Amino acid sequence: MKKKALFLDIDNTLFSSRTGIVPESAVDAIREARKNGHYVFLCTGRSRAESMKYLNYPVDGFVFASGASCFAFGKNIYDHPIAEEKVNEIRTLIEEMQFGVLLGGAEKACLDELCYRGLDSYLNRSEKDPEVRKRTMEANGMFPMSERIKDDPVYKLGASKPHEASFEPLIALLPSPFRLVQTLSSEAADFGDISDATNRKSDGIARILTHIGIPVEDAVGIGDSGNDTDMLAYCGLGIAMGNGSEEVKAVADWVTSDIDDDGIRNAFAYAGVI
């Protein structure tokens, strides 16, 4: 059997925002695929800090911040943080729109009050206890802006907005080569990731494949939203989640079932790795 490399998005691909958990069938599928000799990587728009609770998952590495930071077998093979002056420039633009701000670093993701409230709603949909909610946020590497670590580099910015507002005015003002892709929605807000467009998920995947010696035709990308389209188009096999957007389904080679209906396990079976 030829070795394959599978690249999974996190939010609403691996982690279900409806249930607040990763389906057990997804973790079992990852373990089974690796036992069968294949490689599994998480490929996310989240920074390393935002992915803290997944760092000990049974995977072979990570593509963080849509390609800005890449790890394979515990080794950092690519590292491209955003220059501090650009971070400050983009942060100012977001704040002028009166949107919420997230700064995604390696150690912490720091959020202003607006963005914190929105992501708290996303990660703690049904939880009432404020202490439990806080611990969940911290487990996902998310902290108030006042706790930002001075020397922690920023790999992506996030913006949150009310549902009735549009990201388009902010997109028009972003300096080249930065782009904003809407990624999530909670009861409180919509969210967009702002990253260097020269570092896309597909670029991160290419770096991983070169490092591990797997051709792109043996790569499988699995995702659900707009920032996954280049990943699915690039990989030899692109699979969209059943709960995914129409945009990502349009570029996929196949559409699996819903995340909460064994979507990852069915995707792995279709890819022939379990």
Domain closes at, from 135, 168, 196? 196
**Residue range 151-166: average pLDDT?**
97
Domain closes at, from 159, 177, 196? 196
Cβ-defined contacts of 112-117 (< 8 Å, 24+): 112/144, 112/145, 113/144, 114/160, 114/189, 115/158, 115/159, 115/160, 115/189, 115/191, 116/142, 116/144, 117/188, 117/189
**Is residue 1's pLDDT more than 80?**
no
Domain closes at, from 177, 196, 215? 196
What percentage of the chain exceeds 90 in pLDDT?
94
Cβ pair 160, 190 in contact under 8 A? yes
pLDDT digits (tens, 9 = 90+) for 73-126: 999 999 999 999 999 999 999 999 999 999 999 999 999 999 999 999 999 988
Task: Kindly state whether residues 226 and 152 are assigned to the same domain.
Answer: no
The answer to whether the pTM exceeds 0.85 is: yes
Task: Kindly state whether residues 90 and 111 are assigned to the same domain.
Answer: yes
The domain of 72 spans 5-79+199-271
Among 15-19, 123-127, 156-160, 173-177, the minimum mean pLDDT is found in 123-127
Count of domains in the chain?
A: 2
Task: Kindly state whether residues 178 and 243 are assigned to the same domain.
Answer: no
Task: Kindly state whether residues 206 and 248 are assigned to the same domain.
Answer: yes
| Structure confidence at residue 221 (pLDDT) | 98
What percentage of the chain exceeds 70 in pLDDT?
100
DSSP bridge partners of 40: 6
Cβ pair 225, 193 in contact under 8 A? no
- Cα separation, 119 vs 261, whole angstroms: 24
